[in-house]
Amino acid sequence: MSEAVETELPLMAPPPPTSAAAATGETPHAAESASASSAAKPSSAPKKKATSVPVFASFGAFSSTPTRIKVVWTVLRGAALAALVFSVLLRIGDVVGLGFHRQEQCSKVLSRGHWTPKKAWHPDSCAIAKYQPNNLQSCLGESKVLLIGDSSMRAIYYAFRAKLGAKLTETEKANAKKHEDLSYTSGKVHLEFYWDPWLNRTDVLNVLDKSQAAPKLGPVKKGDVAALVVLEPKDYKTSIAMVSVGAWFMRYGGDQPAAIENFGKTVSHLFDIVTQRHASETPIATHFITRLLPPFEEAKLSKERQAFLHNELRLQYNAKLFKLVPGVEKGVDGDAFKLGMVGLHALTAAEGMTTDGLHYLPEVDAVEVELLLNQVCNEPLYNGTKQQGKTSCCVDYPKTPAGVWAILVLVLAFGPGAFYYRTTKPHFEPANATLRLLYPTEKTAFALGVLGLVLISCLTVDRSTLFVKVNKEFNSAEFVLMNLAWIVPGFWSLRVGSDSTFLNREQTDEWKGWMQFAILVYHFTGGSKVIPIYAVIRIMVASYLFMTGFGHFTFFYKKADFSLIRLARVLVRLNLLSIALSYVMETDTLFYYFGPLVTFWFMIVYGTMGIYSAGNSNPTILATKLFLSNLAAYSFTHFPIVYGPFFQVCETLFGVKWNAKEAAFRLALDQYAVHFGMLCAWLMISLQSVQSSTPTQYNWLTALSTTIVNRWAQVKRTALISSTVILITYTIFISTVKMGKTENNAYHPYISLVILSAFVILRNATESLRKTTSVFWRWIGGFSLETFILQYHIWLAVDTYAVVDLLGPGVIGRGTGSEVTAVVKWFGFLMNTVVFFALSEVVGDASGVLVEGVVIGGLGKGADARGIAARLGVWMLVLVLWNYTLV
């Protein structure tokens, strides 16, 4: 029958499970294992080769020899390993030679970077923290920020004011007077600006020279300088004092050699005051900084200014500062007097980011304040474990706790050690019965070593200075190119197989594969800031959960296997890597999102089908169970009175501290996707039954299924057209309608079901479409859980806040030209991607073996429920004791 007039539903029952699938409770059919991440999958089981024909002859020729793909993959992994070693060696030289993450080197690290197209500053060798009013208040506490100088410092005042949450209004801009003092208070932070371009105001110097706190300023005019008026007596400590002068000496100082000397005497006098106060243990401020004179963009200067302001002259003034301020080059810790950012404005001026040649764009002033706050606040706020998910600039990485070392030694010594004994002394068995239960098999020992390798890789990449981490940077062109990088080979590797059933295994592996690629690019580029991209990714997460509901419902409905071993295998498979990483990386299991997310919904499916399982054959009873299950899930994810006690019990009994509100929010985002998948699976099973034979019992479900089967030929065209219109309409809607994440999240649980239905209908529209899948996407789909979890610490960094830059400017420098630097940077990204996929693949292969080792271990094939329960109980006790004693 031709596809154009195909009248039968593609719902033939799947073939019987293979021996390997039967051993884990899976079938080859995707409907029964749609969540490949959710069940054990022994990697050593032989796989029957399916007959398939490549769509493109070029791919057929490339893959005609099985070893060819293996050779290419081996060469790529070798090149990636070489690039990795090269990057680490360069980085070691930087760390040892320059002490990159010591506080006194902070300024240099922050000021070496580049501007993004959106005028954001990104350092080359670390990821800066983005300060908001709340964490800024936490850093500065109840204190004063003192800014002294000319118009360039006034611009910094306004930038600081905006950082505190009070941007200058148009009215304020129009009424702002240039040569007067300014002040602003936000919360406990008091911001003050003193207009003193000559640095010779007696009142200001008195404030600096005495131990008294500076009074709050009032806008009382007295000549060209405002007088100080005490408005409140509160004694503020000064957290930051910053001075910026020089331009007036150049313009109004007369004879320049004399002006430079006067400038030097002024700065020297200030330096004497600062150092005396510092030595007397009554410092003026916690941080006292003098700005270097930023470059002029001479072409933009007015004719009057062009006669006086020259960059050659500016360099002489800065040279005077370098000479007067000791310890700048070495950055000796403890200096009371420091210079500001050395390199920021040099690059800024070169890119034409000034307004008039003298003053910089507000975005530049905002960045200078941001970098100043990173220099001042990162260490007290984010040092050690507190940096996770925040920054990698100006902070010391946390020391690895003894408990973490114990885990690493265990897996890295015990696993390979046991493997060695198993391979060299195959007949050796421990004499003690308990030890025999713990003594792993050869495969388990090897898998344990693989897990140890992956854990220490995550720790090294994301918790050490050996790898550069930089801020994410969304760029539309890069986003498109990165997506093309997986879309093109995906289509090129299309093959026509033999399985034409609805949502067959190869099709759902492919589905998970291309969605995983899209999610990886989304995370790497910071695409969550673009609402249309965010909305599409949310649909993909709903798709994963749809497959979870579809697959597990099908399994439980057909197999009725609610055994402890089935439950344990799925739960351990989903959470093994997340739990291991949570202890090694000092995070929590919920941080890894997908494993815990699918775990919750799997338990919903398990409970729905397992409670009164005898009623599953009765459509009315099963429909009632599905409704009550949905109601229970909704209550748990929406009402604190329901989910609060659960998380409190977990904290009390197991010693875990999870964010209950955040967890409930994430679970509620796709609150109907799993039940929708269960309903679709139920309908598919009923349709299969009606299509394959005459029903022996009639009920409302049989009647509905019979009607669909009989009328499918009539409604198929309408269904396909409607599905196409739905997807096109949704694409236009999210691309044109402006909304935020909150609005999108509000309608997402409902509209995602419509989009899923449309996609599934179109993807299974014809026999050829059902048979045709991408080898490349299926490959990634086979270990999608591992890629989702490991991206947090290997492909991304700082717990997803930043990205790993293997061969970027922070490693190799910028001396080779921007084009060459960009090429090398992206080559490094490609090599790190290869490392990431290689580690994900090997740990994916090892996971199925480790699941068996955890659940069954030495119990062997004769393991019963009591033995498994006791074994799992011991593992749980170990984790609980660990939580209460070492964490």
pLDDT at position 440 is 79
pLDDT tens digits along 490-516:
999 999 999 899 999 999 999 999 999
Which pLDDT score, from 0 to 100, does residue 814 have? Answer: 62
Q: What is the pLDDT of residue 216?
A: 37
- What strands, in cross-sheet order, belong to the sheet with 772-774? 53-54, 494-496, 772-774
Give the model's confidence band at 56: pLDDT under 50 very low, under 70 low, under 90 confident, else very high. confident
- How are beta strands 287-290 and 338-339 bridged, if at all? parallel
Instruction: Give residue-wise pLDDT tens across range 599-619.
Output: 999 999 999 999 999 999 999
Span 371-424, pLDDT tens digits = 889 988 998 898 877 778 889 998 888 888 888 888 888 888 888 887 877 788
**CB-based contacts of 878, cutoff 8 Å, min separation 6:** none
Whether the per-residue pLDDT at 810 is higher than 60: the answer is: yes
Whole-number mean pLDDT of the chain?
Answer: 84
Is the C-alpha dihedral spanning 750, 529, 463, 844 positive or negative?
Answer: positive
CA distance linking residue 190 with residue 140, whole number of Å: 10
Greater pLDDT, 284 or 663: 663
Residue 133: predicted pLDDT: 92
Separation CA 15–CA 13 (nearest Å): 7
> Looking up tokens 């993909």, which residue turns up?
540
pLDDT band at 482 (very low <50, low <70, confident <90, very high): very high
For position 862, what pLDDT does the model report? 66
**722-739 pLDDT tens trace:** 999 999 999 999 999 989
Amino acid at 355: T
- For CATH 3.40.50.1110, the residue range(s) in the chain are 130-381
Dig out the tokens for 674 from the structure.
């799993």
Instruction: Please give the helix or strand (H or E) that residue 243 lies within, else none.
Output: strand 237-244
The string of pLDDT tens digits covering residues 621-642 is 999 999 999 999 999 999 999 9
| 498 to 49, 681, 769, 773, 778: CA distances (angstroms) | 11, 22, 11, 11, 15
Q: 147: which DSSP letter?
A: E
- Range of lowest pLDDT (200-204, 533-537, 829-833): 200-204
Decide which of 694 and 531 is more confident.
531
Binned at pLDDT 50, 70 and 90, residue 47 comes out as very low
Fold of domain 130-381: Rossmann fold (3.40.50)
Tell me the C-alpha distance between 396 and 379, whole Å: 8
CA distance linking residue 67 with residue 635, whole number of Å: 53
**Residues of the chain with pLDDT > 90: what percent?**
52
Higher per-residue pLDDT: 510 or 253: 510
Closest CA to 812 of 80, 94, 123, 78: 94
C-alpha–C-alpha distance, residues 348 and 103, integer Å? 24
Per-residue pLDDT at 764 = 95
What's the pLDDT tens digit per position in 94-122? Answer: 766 554 444 457 777 888 888 888 888 89
Burial of 678 (0-12, 13-18, 19+ CB in 10 A): buried
Residues, the chain, total? 887
Residue 142 CB neighbour total at 10 angstroms? 14
Please report the sign of the dihedral spanned by the C-alpha atoms of residue 558, residue 45, residue 49, residue 772. positive
Ramachandran area for residue 279 (φ above 0: left; ψ -120 to 50: alpha; else beta): alpha
The mean per-residue pLDDT over the stretch 354-370 comes to 90
Q: Please, which pLDDT band fits residue 326 given cuts at 50, 70 and 90?
A: low
User: Which residue in the block uniquely carries the two structure tokens 């009070």?
Assistant: 166
The phi, psi pair for 465, rounded to 5°, reads -85, 0
pLDDT(34) > 80: no
